[in-house]
């Protein structure tokens, strides 16, 4: 019975310890992880701070955006990084001007990218809503963060995609 209690205590500690550690982590801890080159730890630390619904930390948003922009610690995601840069461009953030500039650079790629970036800035999880573009009365294209789907004349095709910084759209 004593062994069972010890096991339950160990399991409880294993479940609760990560939330205790993350609750004590700060943006400074996330930046220190970036400086050390521990990008995975930086993502774990900065994400809850950047996406806190009550009071998101604009500095955490900025540094998390740099991770998604560079692909270090997380896959490159220009839409998510742009949305985070836009969210970080608020009064009181010492990096607000840099945030606006970096978001604008991504938005200048295309009108669609600008729309998706703006949508990503208001969606709490950083993923934009797929955007539907009507080409004709019976034809349209839906562009999401990871796919392009076209429809018309009883034909529907979906192609997985990724967005890259230098090339643009890449179909998979």
Closest CA to 119 of 96, 144, 93, 153: 144
pTM over 0.75: no
Q: What is the pLDDT of residue 126?
A: 47
Same domain (yes/no): 111, 90: yes
Contact of 89 with 96, CB cutoff 8 Å:
yes
Element (H, E) at 46: helix 39-50
Q: What are phi and psi of 127, to 5 degrees?
A: -105, 125
How far is C-alpha 125 from the geometric centre of its chain's CA atoms?
Answer: 7
Same domain (yes/no): 25, 96: yes
Same domain (yes/no): 14, 64: yes
Question: Helices H, strands E: what count in the chain?
Answer: 7, 5
Same domain (yes/no): 122, 137: no
C-alpha dist (Å) from residue 96 to 70, 109, 117, 124: 19, 21, 16, 19
Q: What is the pLDDT of residue 88?
A: 94
Element (H, E) at 86: helix 78-88
Rounded CA-CA distance 78/53 in Å is: 22
Q: What is the pLDDT of residue 5?
A: 42
For residue 76 the two structure tokens come to: 């490159």
Q: What is the pLDDT of residue 165?
A: 43
Same domain (yes/no): 71, 134: no
Q: What is the pLDDT of residue 170?
A: 46
**Domain tally for the chain?**
2
Structural domain boundaries, residue 140: 130-172
What does the pLDDT profile of the chain (172 residues) look like in tens digits?
444 444 433 343 344 444 444 456 899 999 999 999 999 999 999 999 998 877 889 999 999 999 999 999 999 888 889 999 999 999 999 999 999 999 999 888 888 888 888 888 875 554 556 777 788 777 877 777 677 777 766 666 776 665 544 434 444 4
Rounded CA-CA distance 3/11 in Å is: 12
């Amino acid at each position: 019975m004593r062994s069972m209690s010890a096991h339950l205590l160990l399991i409880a500690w294993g479940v609760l310890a990560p939330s205790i550690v993350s609750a004590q982590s700060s943006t400074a801890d996330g930046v220190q992880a970036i400086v050390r080159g521990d990008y995975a730890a930086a993502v774990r630390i900065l994400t809850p701070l950047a996406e806190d619904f009550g009071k998101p930390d604009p500095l955490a948003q900025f540094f998390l955006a740099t991770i998604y922009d560079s692909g270090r610690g997380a896959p490159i995601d220009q839409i998510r990084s742009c949305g985070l840069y836009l969210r970080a461009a608020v009064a009181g953030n010492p990096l607000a001007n840099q945030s606006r500039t970096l978001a604008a650079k991504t938005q200048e790629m295309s009108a669609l990218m600008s729309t998706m970036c703006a949508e990503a800035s208001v969606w709490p999880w950083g993923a934009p809503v797929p955007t539907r573009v009507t080409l004709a009365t019976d034809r349209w294209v839906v562009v999401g963060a990871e796919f392009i789907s076209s429809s018309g004349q009883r034909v529907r095709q979906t192609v997985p995609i990724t967005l890259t910084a230098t090339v643009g759209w890449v179909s998979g």
